[in-house]
């Protein structure tokens, strides 16, 4: 049973906006469904007009939220700097981006609740680029700080989560956005990944987002290139891979992909960046990949399994197994319905797993 909001509280206009955007509605569309004017809804979302209980009830029905959602007082974070951080193609619409940001805000609310009774490692720190000789140097510093062995990073997701980050796969409304990363006050670094990414692109995306979080505080024209340079060095340290990036061919790239667990295209880019091939050679290799159909889909026989995020699963498992939370309890705590909880999060009712590094307070 969902808790009924107190009559002494009032609806939070930010949550009305968040609920609307998370379901992909514009103000005009939702106002039409509600049977009110856009002006009325605009005033509600601007905190100029308090919606009646009947309007809240109808909002819940249309947007598929319990009434308690509209009374939440948790902070809502705007895109801010992260609007420049996430990797996206320009074809993603503003509506899709608002929906993604709203869903991420909602998940931040849920994760913050789960973290209240636990501790996770804190090995993340922001580094001052002026103290280093570029993004590659910063990537090397992070590898050293996290005690990574020589060679490929075997599991990027596990590495980030061991350092204190949380990786979450999401059903974004478009394939045109790979990921969004957030590091909000009082929370660990959060990495929200598009669940449609193939394994090789997911690893590069995580390393790219990691670069943004440790290097960038304000947007700049060079930040995307810097994040890619960071990702390349983090996944493929120059001193180790440079001798292998000569005399490249498609069979050679396929072999290196299996070893370093990055795409053939990423290997070409890294080789060009390190100067082991020329721009002309890179274009020729890309052309060969295109003729073979590898620009859209690299050979299936080179696929490898996706890495599995663990921390969120373990947080939920901790609350269910140790704290006695039922699915109903969690859905009420999150102010979402049970069907959304089960479809959005790794709810495992049958398998008991060893815990990662979480400790109940």
**pTM recorded for the entire structure:** 0.91
Of 309, 307, 306, 310, nearest to 318 by C-alpha is 310
Q: Are strands 87-88 and 118-119 parallel, antiparallel or unpaired?
A: unpaired
Per-residue 3-state assignment (H helix, E strand, C coil) for the chain: CCCCCCCCCCCCHHHHHHHHHHCCCCHHHHHHHHCCCHHHHHHHHCCCCCCCHHHHHHHHHHHCCCHHHHHCCCCCCCCCCHHHHCEECCCCCHHHHHHHHHHHHHHHHHHHHHHCCEECCCCCCCCCHHHCCCHHHHHHHHHHHCCCCCCCCCCHHHHHHHCCCEEEEECCCCCCEEEEEECCCCCCCEEEEECCCCHHHHHHHHHHHHHHHHHCCCCCCCHHHHHHHHHHHHHCCHHHHHHHCCCCCHHHHHHHHHHHCCCHHHHHHHHHHHCCCCHHHHHHHHHHHHHCCCCCCCCHHHCCCCCCCCHHHHHHHHHHHHCCCCHHHHHHHHCCCHHHHHHHCCCCCCCCCCCCCCEEC
Q: Which of 73, 104, 136 is the last residue of a domain?
A: 73
Given a cut of 60, whether residue 202 has pLDDT beyond it is yes
* Shared domain check, 236 and 153: yes
Q: How many CA atoms lie within 13 A of 166 on its CB side?
A: 27
Given a cut of 80, whether residue 166 has pLDDT beyond it is yes
Residues 40-91: tens digit of each pLDDT: 999 999 999 999 999 999 999 999 999 999 999 999 997 755 555 555 556 7
Average pLDDT, the chain: 92
* Shared domain check, 327 and 297: no
* Shared domain check, 171 and 134: yes
Distance of CA 212 to the CA centre of its chain: 12
Which band of pLDDT confidence, cut at 50, 70 and 90, is reported for residue 349? low
* Shared domain check, 143 and 250: yes
Residue 194's Cβ-count burial label (10 Å; 0-12, 13-18, 19+) is buried
Q: What gap in Å lies between CA 52 and CA 35, rounded to an integer?
A: 13
Query: The dihedral of CA 138, 89, 26, 346: what is its sign?
Result: negative
pLDDT number for residue 221 = 85
Given a cut of 60, whether residue 121 has pLDDT beyond it is yes
* Shared domain check, 347 and 273: no
Residue 332: both structure tokens together: 């009420």
* Shared domain check, 190 and 288: yes
* Span 167-183, average pLDDT: 95
The verdict on residue 138 lying in a domain is yes
The verdict on residue 35 lying in a domain is yes
* Shared domain check, 202 and 178: yes
The verdict on residue 315 lying in a domain is yes
* Shared domain check, 276 and 192: yes
* Shared domain check, 139 and 67: no
Q: Which of 56, 73, 90 is the last residue of a domain?
A: 73
Count: domains in the chain: 3
* Shared domain check, 356 and 258: no
Highest mean pLDDT pick, 28-37, 178-187, 209-218: 28-37
* Shared domain check, 348 and 294: no
The verdict on residue 107 lying in a domain is no
The verdict on residue 79 lying in a domain is no
Q: Check which CATH number belongs to the domain holding 60 and give it.
A: 1.10.260.40
| 159, 163, 166, 169 alpha-carbon torsion, rounded to 10° | -10
pLDDT number for residue 81 = 56
* Shared domain check, 324 and 245: no
pLDDT number for residue 7 = 46
Q: What gap in Å lies between CA 268 and CA 288, rounded to an integer?
A: 12
Of 143, 173, 128, nearest to 23 by C-alpha is 173
Per the structure, the complete domain to which residue 165 belongs is given by 122-302
The verdict on residue 81 lying in a domain is no
Please answer whether residues 330 and 88 qualify as being in contact, where contact means their C-beta atoms are separated by less than 8 angstroms.
no
The verdict on residue 323 lying in a domain is yes
Q: Which of 33, 56, 73 is the last residue of a domain?
A: 73
């Amino acid at each position: 049973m969902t808790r009924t909001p107190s009559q002494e509280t009032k609806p939070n206009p930010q949550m009305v906006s968040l609920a609307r955007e998370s379901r992909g509605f514009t103000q005009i569309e939702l106002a039409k469904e509600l049977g009110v004017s856009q002006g009325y809804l605009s005033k509600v979302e601007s905190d100029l007009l308090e919606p009646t209980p009947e309007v809240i009830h109808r909002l819940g029905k249309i947007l598929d939220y319990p009434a308690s959602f509209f009374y939440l007082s948790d902070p809502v974070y705007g895109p801010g700097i992260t609007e420049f951080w996430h990797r996206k193609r320009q074809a993603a619409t503003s509506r899709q981006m608002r929906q993604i940001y709203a869903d991420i805000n909602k998940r931040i609310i849920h994760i913050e609740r789960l973290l209240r009774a636990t501790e996770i490692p804190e090995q993340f720190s922001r580094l001052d680029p002026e103290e280093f000789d570029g993004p590659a140097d910063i990537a090397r510093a992070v590898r050293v700080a996290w005690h990574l062995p020589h060679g490929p990073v075997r599991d990027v997701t596990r590495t980030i989560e061991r350092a204190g980050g949380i990786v979450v796969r999401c059903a974004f409304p478009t394939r045109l956005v790979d990921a969004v990363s957030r590091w909000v006050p009082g929370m660990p670094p959060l990495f929200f990944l598009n669940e449609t990414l193939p394994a090789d692109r997911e690893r590069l995306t995580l390393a790219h987002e990691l670069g943004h979080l440790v290097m960038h505080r304000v947007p700049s024209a060079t930040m995307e290139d810097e994040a890619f340079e960071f990702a390349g060095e983090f996944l493929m340290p120059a001193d180790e891979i440079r001798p292998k990036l000569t005399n490249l061919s498609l069979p050679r790239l396929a072999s290196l992909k299996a070893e370093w667990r990055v795409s053939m295209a990423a290997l070409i880019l890294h080789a060009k960046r390190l100067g082991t091939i020329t721009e002309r050679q890179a274009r020729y290799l890309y052309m060969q990949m295109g003729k073979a159909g590898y620009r859209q889909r690299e050979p299936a026989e080179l696929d490898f399994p996706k890495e599995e995020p663990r921390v969120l699963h373990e947080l939920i498992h901790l609350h269910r197994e140790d704290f006695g939370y039922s699915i109903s309890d969690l859905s009420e705590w999150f102010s979402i319905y049970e069907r959304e909880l089960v479809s959005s999060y790794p709810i495992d009712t049958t398998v008991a797993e060893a815990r990662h590094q979480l400790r109940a307070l």
